[in-house]
Amino acid sequence: MSKRLLILLALLLIAAMALAACGGGKATQAPAQEKPAAEQKTEQAAPSGGGEECKVVFGAAVSLTGKYAKEGEYVKNGYELYVEEINKAGGIPVGDKKCKVELKIYDDESNADRSAQLVEKLITEDKVTFLLGPYGSGNTFATTAIAEKYKVPMVEANGAATKIFNRGFKYSFAVLSPAPNYLRGIIDMALDKDPNLKTVAIVIENGAFALEVAQGAKDYAEEKGLEVVYFDKYAKAAKDVSSLITAMKSKNPDIVLGAGHLQDTILVMKQSKDLGLSPKVFGFSVGPTSPEFRKALGKDADYVVGAAQWTPELKYQSDDIFGTPQHFTELYKAKYGEIPPYQAAESAAALIAYQKAIEAAGSLDKDKVRDALAALDYDSFYGKLKFNEQGMNVYKPMAVMQNYTDGNLYTVWPKEAAVKEFLYPFVPWDQR
Amino acid sequence: MESLQFTQGIVNAILLSGTLTLVAIGFSIVWGILNIINLAHGAFLMVGAYITYWLFTLYGVDPFLSLPISMAIMFLVGYAVQRYLINLVIRAPLLVTFLLTFAMEIVIINLATFFWKGDLRSVTPDYAGLGFTLGNVQIPYVRLAAFIISLILTGLLHVFMTYTKTGNAIRATGMDIDAARLQGVRIPQTYALTYALGTALAAGAGTLISISFPIDPTMGGAYTLRAFVICVLGGLGSIPGVMLGALLFSFIEVFSGIWFPSLKDAIALLVLVLVLIVRPSGIAGKAFYH
């Protein structure tokens, strides 16, 4: 009986493989995932006396497949760019010697439970020195709890929901501005351009980050005298939001704001075109600022604005390894062939925060570095790195970028950093 | 403006019902004739969608032209899978075939995730997003075309089942397998053919879906579930029943999406439960599976 079952299983596998093959499998390239096992042979090495080589291992679970695969790729790029640059410079100074930096990244498949499991594995099996964050608030919420449990610091760069930081955790730090602030810049900019705007519609991905973004935007819009005429959620895995678009269109809003991530933002744009929804301003929390947005939508990306934690055009000056946003952009472009999305910059900034804390602590001791992180106040290429007592970076402003009709992305807000004027209004679909 | 929401909703629902009919009809004949609840249906649909995606991305084949290709490939795959895999356990209790198709689904999805990665992908021909307005209702060309093609395929299936000898053999097998065998129907071949038809229809639906919506390896599950609900709503064993079920389901899905977007899925399944309680045999037709 069991033999027959085995044969059955084998047949099943073969059939499924045949299926996969005739589906055009040869077209795919090897996934960008690295085999961490190959590059990492030993566990961490604390800076011990003698001639032993010193090494810092940063571990992270990042989404390399699944819904957040694209954003996760940017995160991984940011981490890797920093590691490459710092190792070129000899490593992170710890006391009187320099420690080489290693990275160990697993794919969490855009799944929070998986992310937490992998972080536990990073701590207990791989014995990494410090932790970096995953992509997204849901995954960060799950993994920071594991970091806290084992008292290993985690500086994260991609979880903006404030609920991550309302649990009294001591070992979690975020370099990015919190979620409720995301869409404020867009509202300010729109009203600055046209004070006669009256109504806002907000569509929301049903997840920790987006819900906070939306609530923050709603409160702020109402404070500014706008009327919120539509405010509703779609499922996290939604592949069809045409019902929400239909409902929004019937309200004829001046501004449409989307709180969500790259893939659902692209979906909202596509179906808005399908159904002819043309407000005067289209703005989103995540999506329009990444190169993938333009690739997916082509000319339909024109005029759309997106919130940005960081842009290549900001005027920060720093003595960190990147120096300025412009230099970071050059290095990133040379390595990855595209303009860096802010997810890459903030991810690299998480490592800068670690570096500065390690330098200040003069040690790789987890608790000493944690204390140094809590006391950190540093101006990086990414902006101010300073944490409040909850671990959030509330000191750094948000910017706005717009997809221009020439196919490029430009910073259009705040005014002092803007390189182009905000193109207004959004040209309706039927007039293009 | 509220009336716009209503009329646009009606149009959306009607257009959606075409594709969903195609999704459910393959599921329905496999269930009705082979007595298999084919949990791998959505996985085959996903593979069909990916065939279209790859043909479009690599060779620039128009997604509508890839429809016969994806259906033909998956027809052969479906035939082989039934003949050499499912047929081994076709006499076993329902639970075994249920488990087998469940395992097939997992294997196919995992292989697809492995080879193609979990990313969302879209088929984007030049005409995607274009449409026309009727009054103030917006009708995207792509969805209208998908609707019409679905109706044509459904019509062809109806003609095949009603007016050809093979079609009659399939229906006879579903009604009374022993009587069919006595009449000279070759059961294994008929089963394989039926399963292949179901798989091809799933792939065709996958192709049409890939043109309007983003795809990823896990997209199929939601469609298997919808096919199941539609079959229960419409009752098994009749093509008009499936069409009615799909239409009803589309209206529920679209309007719950407009009025209570966060509860969309819950409402659709609530309707399923209600139908099972009130009319277990479905709204139209009667169950003829055992």
| Assigned domain for B113 exists | yes
CA–CA gap between residue B220 and residue B39 (Å, rounded): 10
- CB atoms B12 and A243 under 8 Å: yes
Range of the domain at B92: 2-122+180-278
Specify the DSSP element, H or E, that contains A392.
none
- CB atoms B258 and A246 under 8 Å: yes
Q: Do domains A36-179+314-386 and A181-309+398-431 have the same CATH topology?
A: yes
CA–CA gap between residue A74 and residue A290 (Å, rounded): 9
| Assigned domain for B24 exists | yes
CA–CA gap between residue A144 and residue A132 (Å, rounded): 10
- CB atoms A110 and B118 under 8 Å: yes
Could you give the number of structural domains in chain B? Answer: 1
- CB atoms A23 and B51 under 8 Å: yes
CA–CA gap between residue B286 and residue A186 (Å, rounded): 57
- CB atoms B54 and A23 under 8 Å: yes
Interface with B, mutate which of A9, A250, A252, A297 (most B CBs under 10 A): A250
| Assigned domain for B203 exists | yes
Per-residue pLDDT of A306-362, as tens digits, reads 999 999 999 899 999 999 999 999 999 999 999 999 999 999 999 999 999 999 999
Nearest 5 degrees, angle CA A154-CA A325-CA A181? 60
Contacts of B77 in chain A (CB under 8 A): 15, 18-19, 22
Per-residue pLDDT of A33-53, as tens digits, reads 444 444 444 444 444 444 457
Per-residue pLDDT of B259-289, as tens digits, reads 888 887 788 788 888 887 887 766 655 544 4
Per-residue pLDDT of B182-231, as tens digits, reads 989 999 999 999 999 999 999 999 999 999 888 989 899 999 999 999 98
Q: Which of A15, A237, A246 sits opposite B5 (nearest CB)?
A: A246
Is the ipTM beyond the 0.85 threshold? no
- Whole-model pTM: value is 0.80
How far off is chain A from B120, nearest CA to CA, in Å? 7
Nearest 5 degrees, angle CA A194-CA A406-CA A297? 90
The dotted CATH code for A181-309+398-431 is 3.40.50.2300
| Assigned domain for B29 exists | yes
Structural domain A36-179+314-386, CATH architecture: 3-Layer(aba) Sandwich (3.40)
How far off is chain A from B242, nearest CA to CA, in Å? 22
A88 torsion bin: left (phi>0), alpha (psi -120 to 50), beta (else): alpha
Contacts of A31 in chain B (CB under 8 A): 117
What is the domain partition of chain A in residue ranges?
36-179+314-386, 181-309+398-431
pLDDT at A335: 96
